[in-house]
Structure 1
Amino acid sequence: MLKEHYNVIEAHGNTNCFSEQNFNRLLVTMKERIVPEGSHLFWEGDYSDKLFYIKRGRVKLTKSTDEGKELILYMYQAGDMVGQADPFFSTKHSFTAEVIEESEVGVIEQKDLEILICQHCDFAIDFMKWMGIHHRLTQTKFRDLMMYGKPGALCSTLIRLGNTYGEKSSDGENILINKKITHTDLSNMIGATRESVNRMLSDLRKKDAVEYENGMIVIKDLGMLQEICHCELCPNEICRI
């Protein structure tokens, strides 16, 4: 495939629902921390008493089975807030948050979050919006994973990756996923084997729906992927990885 010029697709973090004033209130409460690649913000089963705002880097949220199988549920990047939000309740994390690039994060203690919610009703409304976005993201992901089989789940995941890390070609026809995503990563995202992902990607390449460029996936026929996964054209803040 000939090298093309690509333009970055603007991707917004999941904190865009906060007004500037309320986001600044969050920033004031944060304690900055540098977290090295390969470490963890929290483990499944840890007490959920903090939220983490990613200023730089990437974090993935995973769920593990008793057999050791890992399912990647979310991939977070700069501008995202990570954590299990249960203000006024003592709960435990249902997932593990692993740092996949050295990250700079702001740590928000639950007690500080509760004070903001109690003192500012407009902040409480924005925080409810943030929680609502998370619920919708989770619901649409499980819809894609369960309703249209593994091919539908894979196509949905490729579309979400394109919305999150995508760069459009100068003619607007192709989308380069500007992160190296392995077949093992894709299999962990949709709960399939690596061999079945290899086979499905090979089929999509034969149909000229996807291609590879320098080891990265290029979406050539977005419409075909949308048709396979019965895309409902969710907004980008929901249709993301």
Structure 2
Amino acid sequence: MAENAPISSGIYSLFEQFGSIIKIEKDQPIFLEGERAEDVYLIQSGSVRINKDTESGKLLTLRIAGPNSYIGETAVFCEVVYHSLSANAVEPTKVLTLNRSLLEKYLTSDSERMMEWMKVIQTHNLKNQTRFRDLLLHGKKGALFSTLVRLSNTYGVRQENGSILIDYPLTNQELANFCATSREVVNRMLNDLKSGQIVTFNKSMITIHDLNYLRREIECDNCPLTICRID
């Protein structure tokens, strides 16, 4: 898994000095939607899937957070003290956990760390805005195409023939969760892309042969690569 850019040493030092290490086994929850938000988490190793349950009963996956990512961050400086999302370990994962009130205290007393934290939140907000834009403007197709583009920017490995291998295994159901739709709908769209020689897939690995096609279909705004990612 590709790691995020190094995080600021100022905020990291708070987690390192005052936080506690927790190990989570694969497929186990770190926190669940509706639980009281007492802590914020910094992933040290492994990966975590961030999900939202929809009213229709479908699962919407918002991101896959890897090392150096914060999760549970939406509760900081927020009057809503319950998690609005769920976090589940995709693989054995280790996190540093820090009490939310303690983090707020140290951020409030240090303007430099506060600015660093604001940049983190702003980046997360921009990622979510662009994801929802693609879903609202282009429907399920836009959600899938956007997900494939973001996966290529996060885990893509360029091949000698110019194609891009997404070096992260995903089932069609997991792709469907990114689009809040059914596996059958994603199957049809992927088969259409395969027929058009846009993508090919081998088991759970996808190779993109025409990334520009996907970007044109969702009227890509050429967002910075720090924003157009799945993590």
Give the TM-score of the pair, scaled to structure 2: 0.91
Aligned Cα root-mean-square deviation (Å): 1.9
Alignment correspondent of 2:102 = 112
CA contact (8 A) 2:4 2:68 kept: yes
CA contact (8 A) 1:87 1:113 kept: no
Q: Take 1:214 and 1:68, find their aligned partners in 2: how far apart are those partners?
A: 27
Q: Take 2:214 and 2:103, find their aligned partners in 1: how far apart are those partners?
A: 40
Alignment correspondent of 2:131 = 141
- 2:152 maps to which of 162, 170, 193: 162
Q: Secondary structure at the match of 1:240?
A: coil
Deviation at 1:67, TM superposition (A): 4.7
Which whole-Å deviations, capped at 9, do the CAs of 1:46-83 have from their partners, x for residues lacking one?
11121111111111111123553211122111121111
AA aligned opposite 2:66: Q
- 1:126 maps to which of 112, 116, 135: 116
Check 1:208–1:26 CA distance in 2 against 1; reply closer, same or farther (3 A cut).
Answer: same
1:178 aligns with 2:170: no
AA aligned opposite 1:187: A
Alignment correspondent of 2:75 = 85
1:98 aligns with 2:88: yes
1:207 aligns with 2:199: no
Alignment correspondent of 2:18 = 29
- Please, which moves more after superposition, 83-92 or 175-184? 83-92
Identity of aligned residues (%): 32
Q: Secondary structure at the match of 1:130?
A: helix
Q: Secondary structure at the match of 1:46?
A: coil
- 1:190 maps to which of 175, 179, 185: 179
Deviation at 1:26, TM superposition (A): 3.5
Q: Displaced runs of 4+ in structure 1, greater than 6 A?
A: none
Q: Secondary structure at the match of 2:181?
A: coil
Which whole-Å deviations, capped at 9, do the CAs of 1:190-241 have from their partners, x for residues lacking one?
0222111111111111111111245400111110110111111112221111
Check 1:86–1:159 CA distance in 2 against 1; reply closer, same or farther (3 A cut).
Answer: same
Q: Take 1:59 and 1:11, find their aligned partners in 2: how far apart are those partners?
A: 13
Note the residue ranges of structure 2 that are not aligned, 5 or more in a row. Answer: none
- Please, which moves more after superposition, 206-215 or 73-82? 206-215
Deviation at 1:129, TM superposition (A): 0.9
Which whole-Å deviations, capped at 9, do the CAs of 1:68-117 have from their partners, x for residues lacking one?
32111221111211112323645111111111111011101112212221
- 2:62 maps to which of 54, 69, 73: 73
Name which structure has the greater RCO, CA cutoff 8 Å, separation 6+: 1
CA contact (8 A) 2:37 2:82 kept: yes
1:12 aligns with 2:4: yes
Alignment correspondent of 2:215 = 226
CA contact (8 A) 1:53 1:105 kept: yes
1:51 aligns with 2:40: yes
Note the residue ranges of structure 1 that are not aligned, 5 or more in a row. Answer: 1-7
Check 1:88–1:222 CA distance in 2 against 1; reply closer, same or farther (3 A cut).
Answer: closer
Q: Take 1:88 and 1:216, find their aligned partners in 2: how far apart are those partners?
A: 39
Q: Secondary structure at the match of 2:97?
A: strand
